[in-house]
Structure 1
Amino acid sequence: MSGNGSNGGRTTRDIVAKLWKLCDNLQGGGVSYKDYVNELTYLLFLKMLEETNREDLIPAPYRWRKLYEKAGEEQLLHYRRTLLELGDTTGKRGVAPIVVAIYTDAKTALNKPVDLAGLVKAIEEIDWFSAKEDGLGDLYEGLLEKTTSEKKSKAGQYFTPRPLIDCIVRLVKPQPGEVIQDPAAGTGGFLIASDTYIKAHTDNLYQLEAARAAFQRERAYVGSEFVRDTYRLCLMNLLLHGIDSMIQPDDSLEAAGEALGKAELVLTNPPFNRFPTTTNRADFSITAAARKGPMPFVEHVVRALQPGGRAAIVVPDPVLYDDDTGRRLRSWMMELCDVHTILRLPTGIFYAQGVKTNVLFLTRGRSDRGNTQAVWVYDLRANMPAFGKTRPLTTDVFKEFESAFGDDPYGKAARVDTGEQGRFRCFTREEIKARDDSLELAWLRGAVEDPEDELTEPEDIAAAILGHLKNALEEIEGLTEAIEPRGAETIEATA
């Protein structure tokens, strides 16, 4: 998050800190961090519509000023009625569809009029002039990012670190006119970063003709987010960043995922854990009977790409080395796509999910055979410190990788293999075949055997232990599935 105003975002940070501190006062009333973020979403949305002159999206009786002018029990009752009316899905209330989507099934966790009055007063007293200079989207996103540091809320599972998102977007270079998709959108980080990048290179879209600018605002971004509360936060986040695209509240591993259509660019960080249910996609073959999780999302990404389209997907380590379905998926992917770059991410970025992670950069081929000729791997994990509460991830961590990756978003810039002592190496397709198509390509060994040994914060240590336990359970479940009887399986080489 970075402010655009002359204060460099200081006002935004101050407002976020002030609003977040109010949560401490509500803890005794049973309001969790997650509930508090939802509550702020409902209230801030009303106020921000007033500040941005977009109150035409909602009927006059349910606008911010009406709520602010009431007091006591009457204010709380009016607030509850407002949530109900704005979330009315019958379409009879004159509420814009995106507003209905945000407020569908919305309920307040506030039971005391004094608690609501405190939040309304705090929001009203915000320095909105300075906040608008920084950007209202940045203000809201600051609140979302704040939740990532609160382990109690478990909200971190929905967030990809902003420095990583920005690094990926700078490398893949989203372009005006492209359909950009995220099938596991979370709070919209990849879509918003792509939009920010495009606006920065088009003078906030003013360099585009009217029809192209409208496309960017209304149709360029597509995606799904299955978790209802996260979906609500995503829509709010998109709207406050000037994006009117409606992502869907669907599971991309069901039929609705195919309905997302094709895209020139897919950016996503899907859930890392595997779920008890299996995929239900008529167009799937490799992971058709697999449990929902990262591997089916990889198949979705490959199938969602237009020929020549590019993607970056965050995946846990097992996707790179698992046998059976994992091996077939990688072989199929390397036939259809040019898997040109893998970034091995540092330890500690995704402790909430309990796995070590990577970013796959790939381009969908224009033919269905032999698209991967070589894979470049950048090891940003070996001999690196663990990241956590005491050592936050920053943009500087990725500078050398971005330089090595080069300026070509398709991974075709001139590159240098730094050898066994360096971080960037090239592996030919033949070398990968000799490894039974495993993409677990690690070579560095150094003084820092386990960065987790350097962790000092109890929360970081506990999260690391939890991560190892989750990994162990995944491996046991995978072994169990591997020894169960199953019919003959075939590899589909075309999509």
Structure 2
Amino acid sequence: MNPSADLVNRLWRLCALLRKDGVTYQQYVTELTYLLFLKMASEQKDESRIPEQYRWVALKSASETEVLQRYRQALIDLGDGTKIADRSVVAIFQNAATIVREPANLRKLIDAIDGLHWFSEERDAFGDTYEGLLQKMAEETKRGAGQYFTPRVLIEVMVQLMQPKAGEVIQDPAAGTGGFLIAADHAMRAATDDYFELSPKQQTFQLQSALRGLENVQDTFRLLLMNLHLHKIDPDHLNLADTLSPSGMQPKYKEADLILTNPPFGPAGGPPTRDDLTITDRVSSYQLPFVEHCIRALKLGGRAAVVVPDNVLFDDGRGKLLRQRLMSWCDLHTVLRLPTGIFYAQGVKTNVIFFTRADEEAPTEDATKAVWIYDMRSGAPAYGKTNPLKEADFDEFVRAFGNDPLGWADRKDEGEAGRFRRFTREEIAARSDNLDISWLKDTSGDPEDGLETPEDIAAAIELHLSAALVEVRALVEELGVDVIAPAIEEAAE
């Protein structure tokens, strides 16, 4: 077992100390965020930003009668911008509160973290361990499909194919815990000797300005900041805000060279409030407006890889108009039909769409001449916690995609018996611009047949209800029946 995996398992077992108090997995990882930040600052001799009474050694040496009170006060003061000058520290601890009730439990957590060996001969393990904790949290969390953690294997494949380069602006408009941005940073570091090949000005750009994005959930944003901090990234262009609000129209979130993202699925709290989303401005779901944002946020010639649910490929009405705009303004060169079960919910059907913004602001003819579709879903094994997605599972697709991030590598249509096929723009138009195209017989069976635990069954039911609500909303919008729309919104709440 590698050192970081061992650390993850040891830290995860400590969750048992708090589970009896009704603590959720995300609450536990959030609690570890605070403690790991203080521990890391101590290990790396970087405690100048932290008041002496709240440093790791002070917590470690506090008596059991005072340790919880000292820790609670530390969370309050470290999130107070009038007491702490460092912006990143305040952002991580802002509105922080502990869920630990018993001083003895806090003492056990502190002692356990302090006793772990955080460094190997090759590298420190803080960043890798934190990534592992986030994945554990996602695997154990049964929530709506739009909030599922993107498997790191899928992230690595998308980054590998899109080939991020130093000097580019890279955006994730639904940043989550930062998986795409960190993987892109790793790829660029590997290509530039950890940025040492760059000039000081270029290094500053990479560490502070290259990575950009928004996250709309406070607790997730906290995890994002901590994850970036542990990977030695301190960008100035990641903020707590809604991409579908006017915040997403700021200049720093436009002109992206590369967008990598897995936007939320399911119904939103309301339609977008941005003036520029002219196609999806009245759509009460997340996925369609996020795709329109990606189209508009790319610079001319910029490229994107976006995870989307199946309905983005086949919805009529606004969905069809959006696909037409996508294929007009962008070269939608590749669609990857993903297997089910990889987002920790058996019924979620997803795809990755790869596209490049045209070199013209408004092309006179469609930028998409043909779409290549790779079916990784039909006949695929059942994926899940007992059979996780592996890098080798993508090998055939990576070879078929080729080494050109714009999709212009030599490719071979494998015909009706193969997994990779080419469909011309004319053929797609003849299908009423429906991109939900399959040709292989799916012998994998219903992915929900194997559901056993109440949590899995509840998650599947929630997913189906959410999908049904999206379809009803789409019908209402299509018919223009504004009278019953408020009733639907009220029912959703």
TM-score by length of 1: 0.92
For residue 345 of structure 1, what is the amino acid of its counterpart? Answer: L
- For residue 434 of structure 2, what is the aligned residue in structure 1? 438
Q: Which residue in the other structure is 2:111 paired with?
A: 121
Report the equivalent of 1:181. 171
Structure 1's 292 and 475: CA in aligned 2 closer, same or farther, altered over 3 A?
closer
Which residue identity does 1:115 align to in structure 2? N
- Select which of 211, 228, 234 maps to 2:224: 234
Shift of 1:354: 5.0
Residue 479 (str. 1) matches residue 475 (str. 2): yes
Match among 235, 256, 267 for residue 247 of structure 2: 256
Retained in 2: the 8 A contact 1:351–1:463? Answer: no
Using a 3 Å threshold, how does the CA distance of structure 1 residues 160 and 22 change in structure 2: closer, same or farther?
A: same
2:215 paired residue number: 225
Q: Which moved more, 1:170-179 or 1:466-475?
A: 466-475
Query: Which string of whole-angstrom CA distances, capped at 9 and with x for unpartnered residues, describes residues 387-428 of structure 1?
Result: 112211111111100000000011100000000111000011
Distance 1:251 1:308, change over 3 A: same
Residue type of the partner of 1:79?
Y
Q: Which amino acid aligns with 2:199?
A: E
| Offset of residue 446 of structure 1 | 4.2
SS at match of 1:128: coil
Change (3 A) 1:257 1:462: same
Determine if contact 2:177/2:223 at 8 Å carries over to the other structure: yes
- How far residue 131 of structure 1 moved from its aligned partner, in angstroms, is 8.9
Q: Could you tell me how far 1:209 is from its partner in structure 2?
A: 1.8
Superposed, 1:413-424 pairs within 5 Å as 413-424=409-420
Matched residue, 1:5: none
Give per-residue Cα distances to partners, 1:440-488, cap 9 Å, x unaligned.
Answer: 12111143343444667775555445433433343333334333347xx
Counterparts of 1:66 and 1:170 in 2: how far apart (Å)? Answer: 44
**Partner SS, residue 17 of structure 1:** helix
> Structure 1 residues 220 and 429, CA, compared in 2 at 3 Å: closer, same or farther?
same
2:378 matched to 1:382? yes
Is 168-177 or 152-161 further displaced after alignment?
A: 152-161
1:57 alignment partner, SS class: coil
Confirm or deny: 8 A CA contact 2:254 2:299 kept in the other structure: no
Q: Give 1:55 shift.
A: 1.9
Q: 2:491 corresponds to which residue? A: none
Match of 1:142 among 126, 132, 151: 132
Match of residue 407 from structure 1: 403
**Distance of aligned partners of 1:336 and 1:167 in 2 relative to their CA distance in 1, 3 Å threshold:** same
Q: How much does 1:133 deviate?
A: 2.6
Aligned position for 1:345: 338
- Residue 63 of structure 1 pairs with residue 55 of structure 2: yes
Does the 8 Å contact 1:59/1:95 carry over to 2? Answer: no
Q: Give the deviation of 1:217 after TM superposition.
A: 1.0
User: SS at the partner of 2:379?
Assistant: coil
1:23-56 per-position Cα deviation (integer Å, ceiling 9, x unaligned): 1121112322121111100100111112223223
Q: Say whether the 8 Å CA contact 2:347–2:448 is kept in structure 1.
A: no
Partner of 2:271: 278
Is the contact made by 1:340 and 1:411 (CA closer than 8 Å) also made in structure 2?
A: yes
In structure 1, distance between residues paired with 2:324 and 2:295:
12
How many residue pairs match? The answer is: 476
> CA contact under 8 A between 2:78 and 2:84: conserved in structure 1?
no
In the alignment, what sits opposite 1:80?
A: 72
**Quick one: structure 1 residues 420 and 402, their matched pair in 2 at CA, closer, same or farther if it must change by over 3 Å?**
same
**2:20 aligns to what?**
28
**Residue in structure 2 matched with residue 197 of structure 1 by the alignment:** 187
Q: Residues of 2 paired with 1:189 and 1:59: CA distance?
A: 31
Tell whether 2:259 aligns with 1:266: yes
Per mean C-alpha deviation after superposition, the further-off stretch among 357-366 and 438-447 is 438-447
Greater Cα offset, 251-260 or 204-213: 204-213
Letter of the 1:175 counterpart: K
Q: Which residue of 2 aligns with 1:164?
A: 154
1:96-115 deviation line (CA, Å, top 9, x unaligned): 10111111110001121111
Hey, what does 1:93 align to over in structure 2?
83
1:387 and 1:455, CA in 2 relative to 1: closer, same or farther beyond 3 A?
A: farther
Other structure's SS at 2:66 match: helix
Letter in 1 for 2:223: L
Instruction: Indicate the larger mover: 122-131 or 209-218.
Output: 122-131
- Given the superposition, is the C-alpha separation of residues 484 and 154 from structure 1 closer, same or farther in structure 2, using an over 3 Å criterion? closer
Alignment correspondent of 1:358:
351
Cα-to-partner distance string for 1:48-92 (whole Å, 9 max, x where unaligned): 112223223333332212211212231111111110111113xx3
Structure 1 range deviating more: 404-413 or 449-458: 449-458
Distance in 2, Cα, partners of 1:293 & 1:383 = 29
Residue aligning to 2:313: 320
Preserved contact between residue 77 and residue 84 of structure 2 (Cα < 8 Å): no
Identity %: 51
CA contact (8 A) 1:386 1:454 kept: no
The offset of 1:262, in angstroms, is 2.1
- Tell me the equivalent position of 2:466: 470
Point out the more displaced range, 452-461 or 45-54: 452-461
From the superposition, tell whether residues 396 and 452 of structure 1 become closer, same or farther in structure 2 (CA, over 3 Å): farther
The separation in 1 between residues aligned to 2:214 and 2:104, in whole angstroms, is 37
Any conservation in 1 of the 2:346–2:460 contact (CA below 8 Å)? no
CA distance in 2, matches of 1:413, 1:458: 46
Contact conserved, 1:347 with 1:385, CA < 8 A, in 2?
A: no
CA distance in 2: counterparts of 1:76 and 1:156, whole angstroms:
36
Which residue pairs with 1:51 in the alignment?
Answer: 43
Q: Give the distance between the partners of 1:131 and 1:324, measured in 2 at CA.
A: 57
The match for 1:296 among 289, 293, 297 is: 289
Cα offsets for 1:175-204 (capped at 9, x unmatched): 000010001000000000000111111111
Does the Cα contact within 8 Å between 2:149 and 2:343 map onto a contact in 1? no
The answer as to whether partners of 1:253 and 1:279 remain within 8 angstroms in 2 is yes
CA 1:156/1:482 → structure 2, altered by over 3 Å: closer, same or farther? Answer: closer
Q: Structure 1 regions of 5+ residues with no counterpart? A: 1-8, 487-495
Once the two structures are superposed, residues 200-255 of structure 1 have per-residue CA deviations (whole angstroms, 9 ceiling, x without a partner) of 11111112122212211111101011100000000000111111114100000001
Q: Secondary structure at the match of 1:339?
A: strand
Task: Find the counterpart in structure 2 of residue 489 from structure 1.
Answer: none
For the residue of structure 2 that corresponds to 1:129, the secondary structure is coil
Aligned partners of 1:132 and 1:280: how far apart in 2? Answer: 48
Give the letter for the 1:272 counterpart.
Answer: F
SS of the aligned residue for 1:425 comes to strand
CA distance in 2 between partners of 1:273 and 1:152 (Å):
15
1: CA distance between counterparts of 2:112 and 2:187? 32
Structure 2 CA distance for partners of 1:241 and 1:154, relative to 1, 3 Å: farther
Q: Distance in 2 between matches of 1:231 and 1:131?
A: 32
Contact 2:282 2:477 in 1 (8 A): no
Query: For 1:291 and 1:314, how far apart are their aligned partners in 2?
Result: 19
Give the direction of change, closer, same or farther, for the CA distance of 1:392–1:459 in structure 2 (3 Å limit): farther
Q: Which residue of 1 aligns with 2:98?
A: 108
AA partner of residue 420 (structure 2): F
8 Å CA contact 1:418, 1:425 repeated in 2: yes
Give the Cα separation in 2 of the matches to 1:293 and 1:407: 31
